[in-house]
Amino acid sequence: MRKDDYYPFYFGRNNGIYSDEDVEKIRAAKVGIAGLGGSGGYSLMFLTHMGFEHFKVADLDVYEEHNKNRQLGAFAQNIGKPKTDSLVYMARSLNPYIDIEVYDEGISSENAESFVDGCDFIIETMDFNVPDAKFSLHDAAMKAGTYISTSPSPVYGAPTFNFGPGTRSFGESFGLDRDNPFATPADARRFLERLVLPVISDYPADEKNRILEHLHLSAVGERHLPTNIMGVTSSAQLLCMAYLETVLYGAPKVMMPKVLILDHLTYQYKSIDMDSFDWKN
């Protein structure tokens, strides 16, 4: 199929949901996705299905066997291969005409501003244990006036935290010191609780306590963070909608300090205010 003709055939079923004007905005927009593991990988594929065509992606990791419970490209043939290679291949298999720039060295203080440059929105789904990269990317986005969203995927659902012009920074929102964010185990534990508690607050007590105990062990490096496919795909949906809202309407509809939550165990789709939530710690 000729390059000039492909778009209506690939993505015409989106019409009616999107107006013609929406389609033009979607085709012109550019998103940066930092972290292609769970929700980041699904975000790339969801957005490609939605008709977006311009991307920057960053990840320095390879697939491992323990990724199989939640990560889109963790097929047997991809174990040991870079996640960027596998997911870019999958995205281009859907739409060979997408424009995608790859940062296979991941995000650092040296390249964060370059990554943000030219993007209309940033999706940040990097690991909890790379706080410097997280801070660098959030700082670069705030400096550029670019909206940035992050969303963990710990259980049967996910929260999304949308930052942008006029909101508090990532560090301010979570009470983290930029230069030494996890100075004590209590700092790391509090950060993880603030990521997860808004979702599990209405879980049965035994499940909630088990998850929190596992999180506390994760905070001191004794366990991996719990996550599964339900949380990962929920997270990606929330992130992609925040981006779509920014492209079509100018900003995500729910911004910090409000947090948007989708959870399948408790049948909830709601927003909460971080400032009024009962954190306990």
Full domain range(s) for residue 21: 6-273
Q: Which residues are within 8 A (CB) of 115 and not within 5 positions of it... i.e. 6 or more apart? A: 32, 34, 56, 58, 103, 107, 122, 137, 140
pLDDT score at 281: 62
Average pLDDT, rounded, for the chain: 93
Which of 185, 83, 179 has the alpha carbon at shortest distance from 136? Answer: 179
In a domain, 280, yes or no: no
pLDDT, tens digit, 9 for 90 and up, residues 155-212:
999 999 999 999 999 999 988 888 888 888 888 888 888 889 999 999 999 999 999 8
Distance from CA of residue 96 to its chain's centroid? 24
Report which DSSP code applies to 81. Answer: S
pLDDT at 3 over 80: no
Rounded Cα distance between 182 and 190, Å, is 10
In a domain, 281, yes or no: no
pLDDT, tens digit, 9 for 90 and up, residues 234-267:
999 999 999 999 999 999 999 999 999 999 999 9
Global pTM reads 0.95
In a domain, 1, yes or no: no
In a domain, 206, yes or no: yes
In a domain, 254, yes or no: yes
Which of 225, 173, 162, 236 has the alpha carbon at shortest distance from 196? Answer: 225
In a domain, 136, yes or no: yes
pLDDT, tens digit, 9 for 90 and up, residues 199-213:
999 999 999 999 989
Confidence of residue 125 (pLDDT cuts 50, 70, 90): very high
In a domain, 28, yes or no: yes
In a domain, 278, yes or no: no
What is the domain-level CATH number for residue 109?
3.40.50.720
pLDDT score at 250: 97
Rounded Cα distance between 136 and 123, Å, is 14
For the residues of 189-201, what is the DSSP string, one character each? HHHHHHHHHHHHT
Number of domains composing the chain: 1
pLDDT score at 1: 63
